[in-house]
Amino acid sequence: MTTLEDLKGFFEPENIAYYGASNMMQKFGSLHVVNLLSAGFTGKPFPIHPKEDEILGFKAYRNIKDVSEKIDLAVIAAPTKFINPILEDCGQKGVKHVIVLSGGFSELGNVGGQAEMKTIADKYGIKIMGPNCSGLVAAPNINITHVPWPPRKGGVSIISQSGTYAMQPMIAISSKIGTGISKIVSVGNEVNTDLVDYLEAFEHDDDTTCIGLYFEAVRRGKEFIELVDRINRKKPIVIIPIGQTDAGMRSAQSHTAAITSPGYVVDSICEQTGAIKVQNSIEMLSLLNGFDSLPLPKDNKVAILTMGGGPGSLMSDLLESHGMRVPVLSEELQEEIQPMLPETASTMNPIDLTYSDDMQNYLNEVPNILLKSNEIDALMFYGLMGNEYFKNLTNVPDYMQENESVQTMKNFGEMMIDFFIALFEELLEFKKQYQKPIILTCYNTREELFVRWLQDHGIPVYYPEEGVWVLIRMWQYAKFLQSKK
């Protein structure tokens, strides 16, 4: 059994040795050092270089054995032919955890080189992540990747057999989705730690609330299925299987040396274990964000509070086409909310305001009435206008800049920030008080302050269709759990 303690050198290193870093920041190894420091790493990097005396302001060493301090982790981005001799030096130094970023092993037919790597690792008791991987993230201050977008701390952990799919989505997390991350691991060729090891460790990780898996093959199928079946009953697991077609299989074999499983096998695993299969990384990150941020719906009744009829209709159709209900509210409930809505608003559900400038009613008073009712199990919003909206309203010709109304509008967005945050804080209290999922949808991104604030404080913000699919899948998972009681 692999425990989180067994992998501690990967996720909680104090001293890290780097092979492949230089004074050229664009080099792959250098990017890893810079991104680690930018993420707020409080330990010390030790560059190992055959010629340089100083790298990026840090003393460089010819050999890792020349470093007097204990090294918790070595990160290697060097030509393939040097990897195993470097690993031998690491073993003699007493390093127990190594990330091999370099490729050129079994994915390119170099089976002997990878076998030698395993032999050296076994000789010295070294755990290796990789080779042919992109590193790892352990939020908030460990970013051993080439991607300079460290995510905020959260409960989502991701294990990926693709380095690109492990790390590049951090750009979408940073700019749009806002998913809070605990750990991200790129396992690469899995020379002596594999997807199953990390899955097993994350089962008992208090910082992990849900798990995403991107895989092209599972080398320990029986253990994998047993783990997914057990873990998914307490921590939801979301899966993207790759290599399910002939072309996908060829691609997977060429870059991870994986022997893929046919699609029907993955479907069978998900049906058996309740794990959730999705089609792409945005779906995965959005759904994991929902699992990490929200309580599960207790039943399938959804209220939609919308600033537009079209989105309300689209959301209703999607929900009801996939086993959820958007019920007509009782006459009593409609009468209770009607005084807080514009005269033209529909009170039946979706509750279509079309437009309202009374944000307190829209974001607090009406939601409170709906959430405390036993007529709904989840609440979805569509439509919010923030500071960027008001700024763009004032992109007027120069001759209008001094107009009093324009000047007022310029200041309006900034003036409203504190007011909106007070309303959002009340929404957070409603989520805790009523233990029902609350999802906001709009077409803004994290460039907008209110989106960033909501996502960072536990209320997801999605595009309308994305938000609906998150809620549908959360309900499907909730039903699965209920069926196992």
Model pLDDT, residue 28: 87
**What pLDDT is attached to residue 251?**
41
Helical segments of 8-162, H only: 8-11, 28-38, 80-93, 111-124
Segment-wise mean pLDDT, segments of 10 residues, the chain, 485 residues:
96 97 90 94 95 95 98 97 98 98 94 97 98 96 93 96 88 93 96 97 98 88 93 96 52 42 74 93 96 98 93 95 97 95 91 81 94 98 77 81 81 75 94 97 90 94 96 97 90
How confident is the model at residue 263, as a pLDDT?
Answer: 62
Predicted confidence at residue 129, as pLDDT, reads 98
**pLDDT at res. 356:** 67
Task: Indicate the SS3 state at residue 366.
Answer: helix
Token digits for 39?
Answer: 């993420």
Domains of the chain in sequence order: 5-290 (3.40.50.720), 295-483 (3.40.50.261)
Q: Which one, of 59, 90, 56, 62, lies nearest residue 76 by Cα?
A: 90
Among candidates 432, 394, 428, which has minimal Cα distance to 411? 394
Nearest Cα to 93, choosing from 69, 77, 75? 69
Per-position DSSP letters for 162-178, written without gaps between them: -HHHHHTTHHHIIIII-
Cβ atoms within 10 A of the Cβ of 349, count? 23
Q: What is the widest separation between alpha-carbon atoms in the chain? A: 80
Measured in residues, the chain has a length of 485
Preceding peptide of 241 cis, ω within 30°: no
Cα separation, 352 vs 348, whole angstroms: 9
> Within 10 A of 404 (CB to CB), how many other CB atoms are there?
7
Q: Which two tokens stand for residue 111?
A: 């089976």
Per DSSP, 340 falls in state: G
Question: What is the DSSP code (8-state) at residue 431?
Answer: H
| Prior bond of 140 cis (ω within 30°) | yes
**Cβ atoms 113, 46 nearer than 8 A:** no
pLDDT score recorded for residue 262: 53
